[in-house]
Amino acid sequence: MKITDLKCAVIGQNPVVRIVTDEGISGYGEVESSKPYLKPHVLFYKQFLIGEDPTNVERVMLKIRRLGSFKPWGSAVSAIEIALWDVAGKAAGLPVYKLLGGKIRDRVRVYNGGVRFPLAGQSPADYAENMAKMKAAREGFTIIKQGIGYHSQMLTYAPDLCYDELRAGGRYPNRGLLTERGLAHVIACVKAMKEVLGDEVGLALDCGPGWTVPDAIRLARALEPLNIMWLEDLLTGDYTPYVNADVYREVTQSTSTPTHTGEQIYLRQNFKDLIEKHAVNVVGPDPVDVGGLAELKWIAEYADLHGILMAPHGVLDGLIGLAALVQVSATLPQNYIAFEYPLGRPEWWTDIVEGLPDPIVRQGFVDVWDRPGLGVEFNVRAARAHLPEEDRDFFDG
């Protein structure tokens, strides 16, 4: 089997990768919906793939892996890797989890990072009301993640909640010391949310990046009685192109509240310090940023050797990304907690992808399916209606 083409189309907001072969088998991968601009970056790799055997996944990846980087620039390589596994599984007649070593669980736990309801405001009562809606969601989530501090609008609630000026714009550009009142407001909002959830549903907090070390320690210690699942990306993370393991370690060693990071990190080598130095308690690589499924599994195994937990990121990975997360999470060691549940956005995505269970999530879990490859396929006729004009030939050939 040989690769004859690499295609990429932006469907909705997600760049979708298609690997075409000379045996009529295609494999798909999907980039996060926040990165529609990556289509040309995906197509850059075509020159390295043509003529290669897609079932030799590692051999192909050796040609392109070194050409990626931290989020967002590792996404193209990662989506290609996932598409290669999809081809390999279909060619073998096996689900991808079989190719990754086999599953150890028949269903995988997910946590809520994407089922959202509009916040009425930024007060503790507003966060409590919002959390009650998420707790009642039909998916029956057993873990819910909510943004706080610099990963939210929480600090706009009142003036002078932080010492530096708050900057507008995406990708969380803010960083700096909170005022005493600002820290107290964040803590009050978390307490209000946890009071709603009780001990029935775990609460994880997406915090930044942007916290200073003193504030991070104060926050973590203040929340110790609440048994928070983890504090994510306190110092670095998201679109930060470095790790700062030594600084994370200072925070982690100062509290019993678990710390978490890793969604922006590309490749196993860049998790090495975090894991070996026990800099955080939980790592959260995203399969569509870290280098793909095999890379994520390698990191999970290495983390497990060091007593570190695994909760993969994935909120914007779409429905192809969801299928990939289910396949790899079924194979992860017992340090696995849950992965971040991605949605198909816009909602018509559920009309163009076939093979997902209905409903997808039951009582906080997704059942692992056994169809070949990732186990999902496009309804090509339905999907064509959503292709941009420039991508009309995406499903051809």
The predicted structure's pLDDT at residue 66: 97
Cα–Cα distance, 277 to 92 (Å, whole number): 40
C-beta neighbour count of 200 within 10 angstroms: 8
Instruction: Yes or no: say if 324 and 287 are a contact pair by the CB < 8 Å rule.
Output: yes
The predicted structure's pLDDT at residue 42: 98
The predicted structure's pLDDT at residue 230: 99
Please name the residues in contact with 163: beta carbons below 8 A apart, sequence gap of 6 or more: 176, 177, 178, 179
How many Å from the N-terminal Cα to the C-terminal Cα in the chain?
15
The predicted structure's pLDDT at residue 108: 98
Nearest partner of 380 among 369, 396, 391, judged by Cα: 396
Residues of the chain with pLDDT under 70: none
The predicted structure's pLDDT at residue 168: 83
Q: Which CATH superfamily is domain 3-93+378-391 in?
A: Enolase-like, N-terminal domain (3.30.390.10)
Residues of the chain with CATH 3.20.20.120: 99-374
The predicted structure's pLDDT at residue 325: 98
Residues of the chain with CATH 3.30.390.10: 3-93+378-391
User: What topology is assigned to 99-374 in CATH?
Assistant: TIM Barrel (3.20.20)
The predicted structure's pLDDT at residue 171: 76
For residue 176, CA distances in Å to 39, 151, 179, 269, 320 come to 35, 13, 10, 29, 37
CB burial of residue 231 (10 Å; 0-12, 13-18, 19+): buried
Cα–Cα distance, 16 to 320 (Å, whole number): 9
The predicted structure's pLDDT at residue 222: 98
Query: What interhelical angle do 124-135 and 180-197 show, nearest 10?
Result: 30
pTM of the predicted model as reported, rounded to 2 decimal places: 0.97
For residue 362, CA distances in Å to 68, 95, 111, 312, 335 come to 36, 21, 12, 19, 22
What is the per-residue pLDDT across 112-136, written as a single tens digit (0 to 9) for each?
Answer: 999 999 999 999 999 999 999 999 9
